[in-house]
Amino acid sequence: MGRLLLICRLAARDTRRHLAQAILLLLAVTAATTVLTLGLALSGVTSSPYQQTRAATKGPDVVATLSDPGQAKSLVHASGVTGYSGPFPQLDAVVQLHGITAGVEAEGRAQAPVAVDQPKVLSGTWVQPGGVVIEREFADALGASVGDHLTINGHQFTVDGIAVTAATAPYPNICYSGCYINPFWYSYGITAHKIGLVWMTESDVTSLATKANPMSGYILNLRLSQPGQAAAFVSQYSSNANNAPLLTSWQQIASSDALLISDEQSVLTPGAILLGLLALASVAVLVGGRLAENRRRVGLLKAAGGTPGLIGATFLAGNLILALIAAAIGLVAGRLAAPLLTNPGAALVGSPGAPAITAGMVAGVVGVALVVALASTLVPAIRAARSSTISALNDSARPVRRRGRLISLSSRLPIAVLFGLRLAARRPRRTLLSAAGIAVTVCGIVALLTFHAAVDAELHGTTTAGAGLANPVVSRDGQMLVVITVVLAILAAITAIFTAWATVLDARRASALMRALGATSRQVSAGLAWAQVLAALPGAIIGIPLGIGLFDVLSKGATGFPQSEWLVVTFIGTLLVVAGLTTIPARIAARVPPPQVLQAGAD
């Protein structure tokens, strides 16, 4: 018990003495655990709003798209069907509003309410002759309001209302369950993600049909006696035959509604992994730096009878406690931030509220935090435990690695680069961790650039169709990528300063000696900065393909490649930022008079 108390007391004192490093460790692990909590918390979050929308709109259990209204007869009399509406004519058309051109599926409806799928009007009125009602997510993307005038296939209509439905996947996923892309749309450069839904009177839809662009189909909404059996009904009545009805169950529509959230998850999960990796690299560098500062203290503890186990446990205890605190903060912050992301979008009514924190989620988040702390602290803790008491008391530097070929090659380089290269080579683990931290950050930045390049390609393509048309999935994913990348960049910047500080501490004798031998303080501080830049160089190079690869994994098929100018700016910018940030501790270190360090080494 006394030993445990001693370990806790030493760990607490050590944390207090190195408050800045403790805060950074806390920040790094908290960022990873918060994002992880968010990723885990989003599972199944849209089911509640979809059910609310389904109830509010008398949503169908199965939606059938027919090529001929006559196909409805066999379906409405099928076993288990207790109600229906339709068939309603549907026309593939082109809408133009505020200079935006997009595709629409225009559905002809009666003005009177129907028993199955009666869209809920949220503003304005239900369909009237000469007017349209627009699905809310699509209306938001178009920037449409009640009373606006728009054209459909060149004919002018007024926006009568804005509504939601549970019968169709909302914009931009209207084709999620499969749809036929009319060649008519192709001629306008309209692709599957630029199509929305509008309702009009049946007579207005019929009036828009031409020989060249006839009705694309008829919509039949079915209610079943057992809604849970909708998927089985769809399998039973689906056929591969030409012009056979295309059946969609409400569960398929619900999953397409969840796309907005599941897309967020597909960004958050790799984001949490990136932040976790960066936290690992950052904490490992921090702990290593702290060990360099604490060598004399380790020696004192050992001289006073501290066993290697006690030394190692002291190092581990402090960081594990900080990791547990970070996990707790991450869980709370993730839960509080979740409502910002769980908004199911304008296509549904109701909100899911804050997600519950489950035991599995707690175990996952705490586990990740502990793994990060343990993996990053274990090596320095073992190193501290094994260190020689005498050399630790003398505060002598740890033995350094010799890289003969590199030393020989570096003798041809300018003094600052020579010194930097040799410093980087002395501590390969730290160099590797710095490179890994930079690689993770550049990976995030390049993934963001690739994302924007893909969005540009998708939105603008080779035509102007869809230009200016907002895409809620893209907007949310983009916002999250920006937030994750900014957090990555901030953490990486702070880590770069601490890494430089660790290098400065570790190289204080070499720096003092270089100055005694005739190097200027500017050469020495430039050398210290070069050590960080040289470590960042491979990280920045590797981060670029990693970022493109990461986007490839996230995008599920979307293609994009950032402009080479931006990649060059990212690469050079990263190195310049690293150089700039590390110059601060390097300059501070260069102010220490060499005798102070050299005399300490002669004790």
Partner 1 sequence: MKGISPVLRARGLRRDYGHQAGLVHAVDGVDLEIARGETVAIMGPSGCGKSTLLYLLGGLDRPSGGEIWLDGQDITQLKERRLAYVRREAIGFVFQAFQLMDELTAVENVELPALLAGRSPRAARRRAEELLERVGLADRSRFLPTQLSGGQRQRVAVARALVADPALVLADEPTGNLDSAATADVLRLFASLHQAGQTLVIVTHDTRVAATADRTIPMRDGAFSNRKG
Residues that bind partner 1 (CB under 8 A): 397, 399-404, 407, 411-412, 415, 418, 422, 425-426, 509-510, 513-523, 593-595, 598-599, 601-602
**In the complex, least distance from residue 548 CB atom to partner 1, rounded to whole angstroms:** 37
Nearer to partner 1, 302 or 515 (CB): 515
d(CA 67, CA 60): 19
Alpha helices by DSSP H, listed for 42-95, are: 47-56, 72-76
Nearest to 410 by CA among 531, 587, 590, 583: 531
d(CA 286, CA 499): 7
d(CA 136, CA 119): 11
Nearer to partner 1, 29 or 425 (CB): 425
**In the complex, least distance from residue 416 CB atom to partner 1, rounded to whole angstroms:** 11
- For β-strands 131-135 and 217-224, DSSP reports them as unpaired
Nearest to 165 by CA among 43, 254, 265, 40: 254
d(CA 104, CA 476): 23
Nearer to partner 1, 17 or 386 (CB): 386
Query: Which string of b and e fits 350-385 if b means at least 16 CB within 10 Å?
Result: eebeebebeeebeebbbebbbebbeebbbebbebbb
- Segments of 31-110 assigned E as strands: 62-66, 81-97, 100-109
Nearer to partner 1, 240 or 411 (CB): 411
Nearer to partner 1, 417 or 446 (CB): 417
Nearest to 141 by CA among 178, 168, 103: 103
Q: Would you give the DSSP letter of residue 230?
A: H
Nearer to partner 1, 183 or 518 (CB): 518
Residue at token pair 């683990």: 429
Nearer to partner 1, 333 or 592 (CB): 592
**In the complex, least distance from residue 518 CB atom to partner 1, rounded to whole angstroms:** 2
**In the complex, least distance from residue 435 CB atom to partner 1, rounded to whole angstroms:** 20
**In the complex, least distance from residue 414 CB atom to partner 1, rounded to whole angstroms:** 10
**In the complex, least distance from residue 333 CB atom to partner 1, rounded to whole angstroms:** 45
d(CA 185, CA 570): 38
Nearer to partner 1, 98 or 522 (CB): 522
**Helix/strand/coil percent split, the chain, to 5:** 60, 10, 25
Nearer to partner 1, 136 or 427 (CB): 427
- Could you tell me if 350 and 53 are in contact, meaning their C-beta atoms sit under 8 angstroms apart? yes
Q: Phi and psi (nearest 5°) for 162?
A: -130, 130
**In the complex, least distance from residue 397 CB atom to partner 1, rounded to whole angstroms:** 8
d(CA 425, CA 152): 68
Nearest to 156 by CA among 91, 101, 97, 92: 97
- Could you tell me if 357 and 337 are in contact, meaning their C-beta atoms sit under 8 angstroms apart? no
User: Residues 221, 222, 223, 227: is their CA dihedral positive or negative?
Assistant: negative
Opening angle at CA 464, ends 459 and 568, nearest 5: 55
**In the complex, least distance from residue 417 CB atom to partner 1, rounded to whole angstroms:** 12
- For β-strands 131-135 and 155-164, DSSP reports them as parallel
CA distances 179 to 100, 168, 195, 259, Å, are 22, 11, 11, 17
Residues in the chain: 603
- Residue 348's identity, in one-letter code, is L
Nearest to 74 by CA among 250, 235, 222, 240: 222
CA 392 to chain centre: 44
